[in-house]
Amino acid sequence: AGVYLAGDGARIAGADAAEAAGERAALALLEDRGLPHDPARAADLEHVLARIDRLRDLLEAAFPFPSHGAGDIADDTLLCRCEEISAGDARRAIAQFSLTEMNRLKAVTRIGMGRCQGRMCGAAAAELLAAQTRRDIGAVGRLRAQAPIKPIPLAAGLSIDERQHDPAH
């Protein structure tokens, strides 16, 4: 009671599951508040979500995530497209600078600093770093987000009217 989840916050299972979970969360909220709700519809949604969960379990069993695949990436494979960093470049940096954390790898190699800000390469780079350092994926951290920023002179932020009233101008 009091916690209502839907979409990827509840489970990653696709758009149909997100829609059903959203409706189920709304019905649970109504029920918890003592407002009119449809218990039969709630039961139907529970059956839909259970069916989707069974399918998801089967798919995960049939196609498991390759937990140690990044360690086998060939050195000439492009890891970060934006900054043109290969897996070999990353491995050499990891060895040369004894890197064990994603943001140190980012600082040394520029992985995750390009246009996509690590959205395309971040997970693969973390897997590669974990494999190279024989650490758990959770131990290497994740890329800290940083919006691309271009510095501008302070005067550019002043309006023309403000500069005209300034005795220095």
Q: What is the pLDDT of residues 58-82, one digit of tens each?
A: 988 888 766 667 778 899 999 999 9
Burial 53-71 (b: 16+ CB within 10 A, else e): eeeeeeeeeeeeeeeeebe
Q: Where are the domains of the chain?
A: 7-62, 70-139
Q: Is domain 70-139 in CATH 1.10.10, yes or no?
A: yes
Of the ranges 91-100, 110-119, 120-129, 135-144, the best mean pLDDT one: 91-100
The SS3 call for residue 66 is coil
**CA–CA dist 140, 77 (Å, integer):** 21
Asked if residue 125 has pLDDT above 90, the reply is yes
Which of 71, 22, 60 has its CA nearest to residue 42? 22
Matching residue, tokens 């019905």: 27
Token pair in block for residue 51: 């069916």
> Contact at 8 Å (CB) between 54 and 89?
no
pTM: 0.54
